[in-house]
Amino acid sequence: MAVVGVVAPGAMGTALGACLAAGGHRVLTSLTGRSPATAARARPVFTDAGTLDDLVVAVDLVLVVVPPGAARAAGEDLGEACTRTGARPLTVEMDAVAPATVAAIATMLPGELVDGAISGPPPRPDAAGATRVFLSGAHAGEVAALDAPGVRWLVLDGPVGAASAAKTCTASVRKGHQALLAHALVTAQTHGVLDTVLADLRLDFPDAGVAPAATAATKAWRFVDEMTEIAATQEDAGLTPALCEALAEVYRALATSDWGARRPEDVPQDLDDPSDLRPRP
């Protein structure tokens, strides 16, 4: 059994914590400064370690699971806590960021880092299909040895950065598709051809509809930063960053829509009106 810390106990972090707890591990987090809603969601899964300093000295490894735009700040905070306490937990950087960002975070930490990347929905121990988590770096095998029902660890034959590279490539297609879908449906409604467009799209994309576009819009504030990280990854590969920079702009606009202010669980699966996807002026 390992003692695992999670920073921070958001929806994805709590889901991963639940899977690790189901695997017999003790899971800790820091609820210091967290909202009442976040704390209430986290308490059934986690033991509250107290401050971040308390957390790093109590665990064997730390999973960092924060929005892409907060990844560097989280790495800096973690590194400072380790420096203050002398703790050296293995850190798993699991955010949707560019390989260069992971490399920068690694320099902030006194201990070893594993590059991790979640590909799929928040995992559940009882889910029919496991959520894939890419891992890379010298210590990736230590993380993959953790029993976590609902999680499928995939160790890549590559250095720190390889897992994040894989994630940015797959996310560019999946989240790019959602942004294009939302844009197309609002445009189609404006021109009075929504039903025709949906019927035609479903010949190739059977799941195309307003609901998945609205669900993406509820996460648009986070996807802006993710698209920016993907653009940086593509630029590092010698390609133009313009495509994903434009997709970031689409998500920036979707974040201003009515759905941009709601939660994924608010989206009815039979939603057929894209009006609330229209960005506000």
SS3 assignment, position 7: strand
- What are 101-114's pLDDT values in tens digits? 999 999 999 999 99
Whether 263 and 180 share a structural domain = yes
Q: What integer is the mean pLDDT of 224-243? A: 98
Choosing from 129, 158, 187, the residue where a domain stops is 158
266 pLDDT above the threshold of 90: yes
Whether 90 and 151 share a structural domain = yes
Whether 9 and 147 share a structural domain = yes
- Buried-exposed string 135-155: b where 16+ CB fall within 10 A, e elsewhere: bbbebbebbbebebbbbebbb
63 pLDDT above the threshold of 90: yes
Whether 121 and 251 share a structural domain = no
Choosing from 133, 158, 183, the residue where a domain stops is 158
265 pLDDT above the threshold of 90: yes
Q: What integer is the mean pLDDT of 245-273? A: 97
Output the domain CATH number for residue 21.
3.40.50.720
Q: What is the pLDDT of residue 89?
A: 97
Whether 140 and 183 share a structural domain = no
- Buried-exposed string 64-85: b where 16+ CB fall within 10 A, e elsewhere: bbbbbbbbbebbebbbebbeeb
SS3 assignment, position 226: helix
- Residue 44 to residues 51, 147, 176, Cα–Cα distance (Å): 18, 19, 35
Give the chain's mean pLDDT: 97
Whether 219 and 266 share a structural domain = yes
User: Percent of the chain scored above 70 by pLDDT?
Assistant: 100
Whether 222 and 254 share a structural domain = yes
Q: What integer is the mean pLDDT of 122-150? A: 97
Q: What is the pLDDT of residue 139?
A: 97
Whether 152 and 269 share a structural domain = no
Which helix (H) or strand (E) segment holds residue 26: the answer is: strand 26-29
Choosing from 92, 123, 158, the residue where a domain stops is 158
Whether 149 and 10 share a structural domain = yes
The parent domain of residue 218 ranges over 164-277
Whether 150 and 177 share a structural domain = no
Q: What integer is the mean pLDDT of 175-200? A: 98
Q: What is the pLDDT of residue 37?
A: 86
Q: What integer is the mean pLDDT of 53-66? A: 98
Q: pLDDT confidence of 244, banded at 50, 70, 90?
A: very high
Whether 125 and 223 share a structural domain = no
| Number of domains observed in the structure of the chain | 2
Strand-pair category, 26-29 with 47-48: parallel
Whether 148 and 174 share a structural domain = no
Q: What integer is the mean pLDDT of 133-162? A: 98
38 pLDDT above the threshold of 90: no
Output the domain CATH number for residue 195.
1.10.1040
Q: What is the pLDDT of residue 73?
A: 97
99 pLDDT above the threshold of 90: yes
Residues whose CB is less than 8 angstroms from the CB of residue 28 and which lie 6 or more positions away in sequence, other chains included: 3, 4, 5, 6, 46, 47, 48, 49, 55, 58, 59
